[in-house]
Amino acid sequence: MSVILSGKEVAEALKESLIKEVSELKGKGYTPCLKIVIVGDRPDSVAYIKGALKRCSEIGIEASVLELPGDISEQEFIKKIHELNNDESVNGMLIMRPLPSQISEDRVKYEISPEKDLDCFSPINVAKVMAGEKEGFPPCTPQAVIEILDHFKIDPAGKKVAVVGRSMVVGRPLAMMLLQRNATVTICHSKTKDLAEETKRAEILIAAVGKAKMVKKDMVGEGAVVIDVGINVDENGKLCGDVDFDDVKDKVAMITPVPGGVGSVTTTVLAKHVIKALKQQKSL
């Protein structure tokens, strides 16, 4: 049986330090404020928002949701983003993705103010992640993976790391962040030939695919560290990852569970980013 890397444990430790920071800020008359923007009602976004609101309230962050109709025009949507950019009381925004098809992410990503962009939507923040700069906002989920590795003292430097998935929310920025930490990174995707061969070689395997229990025993190396980013629903309606936990658990050295893994850290990182944004905006 492998070691379970509990995201809950990481989230709790992080939460304690954030609670302290917020109470210090409140003592100085500042309350961090988050606005979540959702267009329509995608169930994965709704699930995330529920967790994020709960986490923010536990930490003392003011958080609310701007719900926009699923058929809102791109122009109207941009107007709302500009309003939030100019709203002094809002320190940070999370725009739920994907946006509906009438709104082009490639056009609207330029509209959010980079100082308020907590989940790396703005190309300015993407560039900062690429360059390995510290003061931007990397996306919350990849940052949650880094927090887990740091907490359990797993240093990716010099290691062979495979990231399966190349989305702009998870796989691609995560690969850059691991490269910044001196890992040797292989990025795999749906066109990768012989995926199992690539993933088996990895000392650290990260799955961010969105396919329930896709990673099986024959795809992991003996003694590997497995980080499962996936949040899926299995045939019984239960939350599960991209990795078949029961199948691989006796072959790998360490593994994150789902639920209770990366997902539980993501919302805490979001809260951390709200605080960071307030501090940068007020030069605290």
Ligand X SMILES: NC(=O)C1=CN([C@@H]2O[C@H](COP(=O)(O)OP(=O)(O)OC[C@H]3O[C@@H](n4cnc5c(N)ncnc54)[C@H](OP(=O)(O)O)[C@@H]3O)[C@@H](O)[C@H]2O)C=CC1
Ligand Y SMILES: Nc1nc(=O)c2c([nH]1)NC[C@@H]1CN(c3ccc(C(=O)N[C@@H](CCC(=O)O)C(=O)O)cc3)C=[N+]21
Q: How many other CB atoms are there within 10 angstroms of residue 118's CB atom?
A: 28
Binding-site partner at residue 230 among ligand X, ligand Y, none, CB < 5 to 8 Å by type: ligand X
Residue 201: C-alpha distances to residues 153, 162, 184 (Å): 21, 8, 12
Minimal CA–CA distance to 4: which of 218, 259, 199?
A: 259
How far, in Å, CA of 191 to CA of 33, rounded? 41
Per rule CB under 6 A, is residue 167 in the interface with ligand X?
Answer: yes
Question: By C-beta, is 123 or 281 nearer to ligand X?
Answer: 123
Piece in contact with ligand X (CB under 6 A), picked from 17-25, 123-131, 189-197, 218-226: 189-197
Question: By C-beta, is 25 or 274 nearer to ligand X?
Answer: 274
Question: By C-beta, is 84 or 208 nearer to ligand X?
Answer: 208
**Token pair listed for 198:** 């690539």
Question: By C-beta, is 41 or 71 nearer to ligand Y?
Answer: 41
Binding-site partner at residue 210 among ligand X, ligand Y, none, CB < 5 to 8 Å by type: ligand X
* In the complex, minimum distance from the CB of residue 143 to ligand X, in angstroms, rounded to a whole number: 10
Q: Which residues bind ligand Y (CB under 6 A)?
A: 44-45, 47-48, 51, 94-97, 119, 140-141, 169, 231, 258-261, 263-264, 266-267
Helix, strand, coil % (nearest 5) of the chain? Answer: 45, 15, 40
**Token pair listed for 133:** 């700069």
Residue 137: C-alpha distances to residues 83, 113, 118, 206 (Å): 21, 12, 6, 21
Binding-site partner at residue 119 among ligand Y, ligand X, none, CB < 5 to 8 Å by type: ligand Y
Minimal CA–CA distance to 162: which of 130, 198, 190?
A: 198
How far, in Å, CA of 219 to CA of 14, rounded? 32
CB neighbour list of residue 45: distance below 8 Å, 6 or more residues apart: 38, 96, 97
Is 231 annotated as ligand-binding? yes
* In the complex, minimum distance from the CB of residue 175 to ligand X, in angstroms, rounded to a whole number: 11
Question: By C-beta, is 127 or 284 nearer to ligand Y?
Answer: 127
Per rule CB under 6 A, is residue 142 in the interface with ligand X?
Answer: no
Contacts to ligand X by CB under 6 A: 44, 141, 164-167, 169-171, 188-192, 195, 208-211, 229-232, 242, 262-263, 266
Binding residues for NADP(+), by number, are 165-167, 231
